[in-house]
Structures are given as C-alpha cells and as structure tokens.
C-alpha cells in the first residue's frame, strides 16, 4: 500500500482527502489466515477528483472446508495448500468483487445473470421432457486434477547442521620427549612435555547437507578438537532418515555410513630457526620461528545410528552415535611457519620412522604417537532446513 500512497500523493499538492479499508480473515486449523484486503483512496482537487481502488484476495486457504489435517500436515501448511484438490472455489468467491462497480454496470450485470438463469431453466425443462435415446451414454464427470507438491530447486536442497561431538581418547600418560634435527641443517627442536591421561575431548562441528530426496541426504562436515590435545574432525558420507511417527510430532531414525578422518595433535612448542635455507622433506621453511607438533591421523569408515526430532518447520534436534572402523593410522611431526601472511605459510610433515626423529615416552623409544581416538563417537546438535 505504501507504493500506491506515494504514487497517489505525487499527482497533486495534497495527499488523499479520504480513505477506507476493509480486511477480512478466515479461521482454519486453529489459526487465522488473511483472506481479503480492500483499500480505496480519494483525492479531491479543484475541478477534478482522483480515486484509486485496490484489492488483494488470496485463495491459499481451505475454501472447501476440508477435514482437519494430520499433525504432519499442520506442521507444514504450505504442503496442505499445494495438495488442495479445490484449486478455486467459485461458489465461495462469488460474493466478492475485485472492484466497486458503478450502479449502472451492476444493474446490467444483474440483468444478464437473470437472463442466463432463465435460459438455463428453460433448457433444463426441455431436456427433461425429451426422452433419452437408448444408446445415449452420459459421460462421467471429469475428476479435478490433484496438484502435486512443487519440486525443490537445486539450491533449496541444501541445508546445514551444527553439533557438538564428544571424542573419547586413548592416551598413554607420562614424560614425552621429542627431538628433531634434520641432517645438514643448524635447526634443531627438542621438547619435554608431561602428557596427562586425558580421556575425552569435545569438538564443535559444522555440516553441509544435500537432500537427494526426502529420505536420503549427502553430508560433509568438519570440526576442531579443543583441549590439551588439539586437532580436527572431517567426515563425508550418505545418510537415510525414516519417520517413525506419521500422525504426531515427527521422530526420525538416522542411519548412515561416513568416511572419517580424525587428527590429534600435541603441541611441542615454537623454536628459533637459524637456518635461512631450511628444507624439510623438500618443503622450504624460511621463517625465523617454526612451530612443532606431534600428531596422529586416523582414517576409517564409521557406521552411524541416531534419532532426530522435529522442533519447528525447519528446525530439528538430533543425537547420533558412530563407531569408526580404522582403515589406516599413522603418526608424524608437523612443522609450521609462524611468520608472514597465514595463506603463504608453509608446513612440512616428517614421519616418526625417520632417523632424524626421536620420540620417547617414560624413557622408552617409540615410533607412534602415544594418543589415539577411540572408535565410539557421540554427537548432539541442531539441523536447519526442510526434509
């Protein structure tokens, strides 16, 4: 209406002199829906009069007075309207007009309506008096087409979720001593750390979801492990959802398979680099300070099982458990530059089997990191987006 008022006021030096508006609603399934808005504005000027009439009528309501829908339909009212078999109910809307007609036009339309009804009554009485031919076949009335739900576009199939993962850990506590001295270089890193027997860490995670259909989805997620042991989570896979409650609040069972990659890292410190031409396994590290960390990387397949409850039309609460079957596990030293723009910093990885690396736990030499993620992982979060 604001656009109409602005254009209307621009016609003269005065705003509209009088204005009237009518608004009507219809109650359906316990809610009120806007049905009709009628607005008329008049601007009187010397020698002329401007009048603007506008009306908005919606048919996105159940004009056929159908039965109360089930819970799943009430949760998504737009689907109820799209599946409504009565696309337009002329009987319901015959009492509404889109314009306020002049009296002469109204009288002319009334005469035409009376003439049409008289001709219809005359034709009906004539057809009733005429005997029907024995071979006459009366065609069955055509059924109204049922409108199918609109297919979602490519971008509408994307949604996302945010969750908090609980990562159980298997840590061998004790005195951790690490030394690294690349051959032919003045750089050397030596660290001594007391490693606590930490049992669990948490990892905030964010996932992108792509719906293949209302039951199948592809997902990719990543998160960062927080605490004394840091690292990250990555996973991609396929998930299936089945609604266990058709008539009440939807409760879905989630089943899927994910390829996961879990990194656990123990920081060893930052060390000065006196070698301007330091190269670690072919990677140049020219920064004055280099950060060194000991990390383990576990890759595997993780079957998933969980539950998901619908809170609102596009909001879901879920809990999920997964068990990772490891396919590959290796440990390494991670060296990172800590100078310059972060996108141009270089990183290098050295396996613990290299003769340049020495790792000891409680005085005993080893070639694997003393910490690994346990197979079981629990996750609780919220998903946003429609199924």
Is pLDDT of 154 > 60? yes
Assess whether 213 and 331 both reside in one domain.
yes
| Residue 182 included in any domain | yes
- What's the confidence (pLDDT) of residue 184? 83
Please report whether residue 51 resides in a domain: yes
Weakest mean pLDDT among 78-87, 105-114, 126-135, 157-166: 78-87
Among 95, 113, 131, the domain-final residue is 95
Task: Tell me if 100 is assigned to some domain.
Answer: no
The number of CA neighbours under 13 Å toward the Cβ of 28 is: 20
Q: Is residue 240 part of a domain?
A: yes
Residue at 125 is within a domain? no
230 vs 11, more confident: 230
pLDDT of 283 above 80: yes
The set of residues, in sequence order, having a beta carbon less than 8 Å from that of 117 and lying 6+ positions away, is none
Structure tokens at 334: 């991670």
Same domain, 250 and 366: yes
- HSE-CB of 285 using CA atoms within 13 angstroms: 27
- Give per-residue pLDDT as tens, 355-371: 999 999 998 999 999 99
Q: pLDDT confidence of 319, banded at 50, 70, 90?
A: very high
Question: Do 192 and 72 sit in the same domain of this protein?
Answer: no
State pLDDT tens for residues 174-221.
Answer: 999 999 998 888 889 999 999 887 789 999 999 999 999 989 999 999
Per-residue confidence (pLDDT) for residue 4, from 0 to 100: 41
Range of 165-169, 224-228, 281-285 with top mean pLDDT: 165-169
Q: Is the pLDDT of residue 10 over 50?
A: no
Do 251 and 360 reside in the same domain of the chain?
yes
pLDDT of 350 > 80? The answer is yes
pLDDT in tens, 64-122: 566 665 555 454 444 444 455 555 555 555 555 445 555 666 787 788 888 888 888 87
88 lies in the same domain as 159: no
Please give the model's pTM, rounded to 2 decimal places.
Answer: 0.61
Looking at the fold, whether 208 and 345 belong to one and the same domain comes out as yes
Domain of residue 19 covers: 2-95
Question: Is residue 225 over pLDDT 80?
Answer: yes
Length of the chain equals 387
Residue 274 lies in a domain: yes
Residue whose token pair is 């829906």: 33
The pLDDT of residue 52 = 82
Domain harbouring 319, CATH code? 2.40.160.20
Site of tokens 């690994």:
372
192 and 70 part of one domain: no
Query: Same domain, yes or no, for 162 and 48?
Result: no
Checking if the pLDDT of 173 tops 50, the result is: yes
Residue ending a domain, among 53, 69, 95, is 95
Q: How far is CA 364 from CA 25, 175, 353, in A?
A: 80, 10, 15
Burial of 316 per CB tally in 10 Å (0-12, 13-18, 19+) = buried
Query: Mean pLDDT across the chain, nearest whole number?
Result: 80
Q: Is there a contact between 234 and 272 (Cβ–Cβ < 8 Å)?
A: no
116 in a structural domain? no
**Confidence bin at 15 (pLDDT 50/70/90):** low
- Over pLDDT 90: what percentage of the chain? 43
Yes or no: say if 270 and 289 are a contact pair by the CB < 8 Å rule. yes
- Do 207 and 350 reside in the same domain of the chain? yes
Question: Could you say which DSSP state residue 226 is in?
Answer: B
Residue 331 binned pLDDT confidence (cut-offs 50, 70, 90): very high
CA-CA distance, 127 to 148, in Å (whole number)?
Answer: 39
Q: What is the pLDDT of residues 300-312, one digit of tens each?
A: 999 999 999 999 8
Number of domains the chain is built from: 2
| Residues 105, 110, 113, 114, CA torsion sign | negative
Residue 342 Rama label (left phi>0; alpha psi -120 to 50; beta): alpha
CA 42, 45, 46: angle at the middle one, nearest 5?
A: 145
Task: Look at residue 314 and tell me if it is in a domain.
Answer: yes
Report the range of poorest mean pLDDT among 47-51, 96-100, 315-319: 96-100
CA–CA separation, 92 vs 200, rounded Å? 64
CB 224 within 8 A of CB 232: yes
Over residues 115-141, mean pLDDT: 65
SS (H, E, C) 168-210: EEEECCEEEEEEECCCCCCCCEEEEEEECCCCEEEEEEEEEEE
Burial of 179 (0-12, 13-18, 19+ CB in 10 A): middle
The SS3 call for residue 262 is strand
Same-domain check for residues 179 and 256: yes
pLDDT at 3 over 70: no
Cα-atom radius of gyration of the chain, to the nearest Å? 37
293, 370: one domain: yes
pLDDT at 126 over 80: no
**Are residues 374 and 259 part of one domain?**
yes
Domain boundary among 51, 66, 95: 95
> 238 near 257, Cβ under 8 Å?
yes
Torsion of CA 233, 237, 243, 248, to 10 degrees: 30
Average pLDDT for 327-340: 89
């Amino acid at each position: 209406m604001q656009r109409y008022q602005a254009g209307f006021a621009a016609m003269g030096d005065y705003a509209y002199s009088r204005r009237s508006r009518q608004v009507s609603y219809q109650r359906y399934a316990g809610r009120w829906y806007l049905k009709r808005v009628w607005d008329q504005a008049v601007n009187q000027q010397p020698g002329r009069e401007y009048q603007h009439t506008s009306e908005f009528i919606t048919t996105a309501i159940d004009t056929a007075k159908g039965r109360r829908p089930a819970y799943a339909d009430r949760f998504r009212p737009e689907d109820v309207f799209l599946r409504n078999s009565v696309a337009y109910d002329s009987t319901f809307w015959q009492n509404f007009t889109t314009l306020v007609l002049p009296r002469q036009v109204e009288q002319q339309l009334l005469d035409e309506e009376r003439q049409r009804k008289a001709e219809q009554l005359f034709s009906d009485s004539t057809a009733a008096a005429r005997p029907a031919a024995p071979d006459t076949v009366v065609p069955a009335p055509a059924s109204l087409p049922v409108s199918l739900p609109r297919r979602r576009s490519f971008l509408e199939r994307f949604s996302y979720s945010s969750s908090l993962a609980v990562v159980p850990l298997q840590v061998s506590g004790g005195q951790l001593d690490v030394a690294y001295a690349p051959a032919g270089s003045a750089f050397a890193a030596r660290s001594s750390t007391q490693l606590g027997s930490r049992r669990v860490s948490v990892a905030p995670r964010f996932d992108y979801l792509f719906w293949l259909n209302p039951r199948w989805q592809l997902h990719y997620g990543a998160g960062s492990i927080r605490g004394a042991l840091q690292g990250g989570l990555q996973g991609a896979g396929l998930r299936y959802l089945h609604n266990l409650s058709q008539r009440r609040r939807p409760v879905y069972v989630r089943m899927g398979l994910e390829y996961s990659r879990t990194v656990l890292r123990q920081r060893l410190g930052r060390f000065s680099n006196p070698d301007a031409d330091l190269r670690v396994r072919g990677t140049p590290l020219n920064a004055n300070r280099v950060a060194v960390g000991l990390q383990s990387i576990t890759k595997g397949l993780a079957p998933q099982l969980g539950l998901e409850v619908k809170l609102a039309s596009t909001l879901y609460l879920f809990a999920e458990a997964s068990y990772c079957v490891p396919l590959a596990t290796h440990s390494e030293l991670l060296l990172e530059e800590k100078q310059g723009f972060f996108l141009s910093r270089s990183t290098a990885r050295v396996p613990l089997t290299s003769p340049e690396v020495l790792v000891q736990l409680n005085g005993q030499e080893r070639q694997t990191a003393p910490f690994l993620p346990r197979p079981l992982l629990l996750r609780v979060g919220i998903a946003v987006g429609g199924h």
